[in-house]
Amino acid sequence: MYNFPMTYRGKVDHGVVVLVGEKPPEGTWVHVIPATEGPTPPDSLASHPAVGVWKDRTDLPEDSVEASKMLRERLMRRADE
């Protein structure tokens, strides 16, 4: 059993809470408290403001795997290299 607080977001659909994003492990007991304020989560990932933020970058390869490798290499490089 987890002893640290976790917050999951979702919405009720036909009497069932449908979680958005990361889900708790199967069998986890939860308490559902209706949100009375705060932002509504996006209905889809495509509406998130960060999606497509790098679409105009020309310094990265077209292949996302290669781009990830390049960015990881840059991140891991020491400042004095």
What average pLDDT does the segment 45-55 reach? 69
* Over residues 10-38, mean pLDDT: 84
Which residue is listed with tokens 């917050």?
7
Checking if the pLDDT of 12 tops 60, the result is yes
Mean pLDDT of the region 57-81: 82
Q: State percent of the chain over pLDDT 70.
A: 72
Helix, strand counts (H, E) of the chain:
1, 2
Per the model's pLDDT, the better-predicted residue between 75 and 39 turns out to be 75
Task: Identify whether the C-beta of residue 47 lies closer than 8 Å to the C-beta of residue 37.
Answer: no
pLDDT band at 42; cut points 50, 70, 90: low
